[in-house]
Amino acid sequence: MIRKTFFWLHLITGVTAGLFTFIMAATGVLLAFERQITEFADRDIRSVSVPNDVHSQRLNELLEVVRHAGIGDPTAIVVRHEPQATMQFSIGRGRTVYVDPFSGAVLGSSSARARDFFSAIERVHRALGAPLGSKSAGRWLTGVSNLLFGGLILLGIVLWTPRKWSWKSVRSSIAFRGGLRGKARDWNWHNVIGIWCALPLLVIVLSGVVMSFNWANALLFRLSGSTPAVAGREGGDRRPRVRQFGTGQEPNYDRLLAAATRLNPNWHTITLNLARDAKAPVAVLTDAGTGGQPQYRTQYLLNRDTGTVVKTSTFADGSLGQRLRAFVRFGHTGEYFGWLGQAIAAMASLGACMLVYTGLSLAIRRLAAMLRRKRRNDDTRVAGENLVMTR
pLDDT digit string, tens, across residues 151-209: 999 999 998 888 888 887 788 788 998 889 999 999 999 999 999 999 999 999 999 99
Q: What is the mean pLDDT of residues 320-329?
A: 96
Question: From the CB of residue 40, how many other CB atoms can be counted at a distance below 10 Å?
Answer: 12
What's the pLDDT score for residue 372?
A: 87
Helices within the chain (DSSP H only): 2-31, 34-41, 43-46, 59-68, 112-127, 137-160, 167-174, 182-212, 214-223, 253-263, 320-331, 338-390
Higher pLDDT, 97 or 385: 97
Q: Is 262 exposed, middle or buried (0-12, 13-18, 19+ CB in 10 A)?
A: exposed
What's the pLDDT score for residue 217?
A: 94
- Partner residues linked to 286 by β-bridges: 270, 298
Higher pLDDT, 390 or 274: 274
Least confident of 100-104, 171-175, 299-303, 342-346: 171-175
Higher pLDDT, 249 or 256: 256
Q: Kindly tell me if the per-residue pLDDT of 215 is higher than 50.
A: yes
What's the pLDDT score for residue 376?
A: 84
What's the pLDDT score for residue 198?
A: 96
- Chain segment 50-72, per-residue pLDDT in tens: 988 778 899 999 999 999 998 88
pLDDT category at 232 given cuts 50, 70, 90 is very low
Q: Kindly tell me if the per-residue pLDDT of 384 is higher than 80.
A: no
Cβ proximity of 74 and 274 under 8 Å: yes
Return the closest-CA partner of residue 315 out of 330, 303, 304: 330
The 3-state secondary structure of 97-162 reads EEECCCCCCEEEECCHHHHHHHHHHHHHHHHCCCCCCCCCHHHHHHHHHHHHHHHHHHHHHHHHCC
How far apart are the C-alpha atoms of 140 and 284, rounded to whole Å?
Answer: 37
Mean pLDDT of the chain: 89
Least confident of 141-150, 337-346, 373-382: 373-382
pLDDT category at 238 given cuts 50, 70, 90 is very low
How far apart are the C-alpha atoms of 249 and 252, rounded to whole Å?
Answer: 9
What's the pLDDT score for residue 387?
A: 63
Q: Kindly tell me if the per-residue pLDDT of 237 is higher than 70.
A: no
CA 256 to each of CA 263, 307, 382: distance values in angstroms, whole numbers, following the listed order: 11, 5, 90
Cβ contacts of residue 206 below 8 Å, gap of 6+? 150
- Chain segment 253-277, per-residue pLDDT in tens: 999 999 999 999 999 999 999 987 8
What's the pLDDT score for residue 245?
A: 47
pLDDT category at 234 given cuts 50, 70, 90 is very low
The percent of residues in the chain predicted with pLDDT above 90, rounded, is 72
Task: Write the single-letter amino acid at 254.
Answer: D
What's the pLDDT score for residue 145?
A: 94
What's the pLDDT score for residue 130?
A: 85
pTM of the model: 0.86
What's the pLDDT score for residue 172?
A: 78
Helix (H, G, I), strand (E, B) or coil at 298: strand
- Partner residues linked to 77 by β-bridges: 89, 272
Q: Kindly tell me if the per-residue pLDDT of 383 is higher than 80.
A: no
Q: What is the mean pLDDT of residues 33-53?
A: 92
Q: Kindly tell me if the per-residue pLDDT of 9 is higher than 50.
A: yes
Return the closest-CA partner of residue 99 out of 134, 133, 71: 71
Q: Kindly tell me if the per-residue pLDDT of 78 is higher than 80.
A: yes
The percent of residues in the chain predicted with pLDDT above 70, rounded, is 93
Q: Kindly tell me if the per-residue pLDDT of 297 is higher than 90.
A: yes
Q: What is the mean pLDDT of residues 134-158?
A: 91
- Chain segment 331-364, per-residue pLDDT in tens: 999 999 999 999 999 999 999 999 999 999 999 9
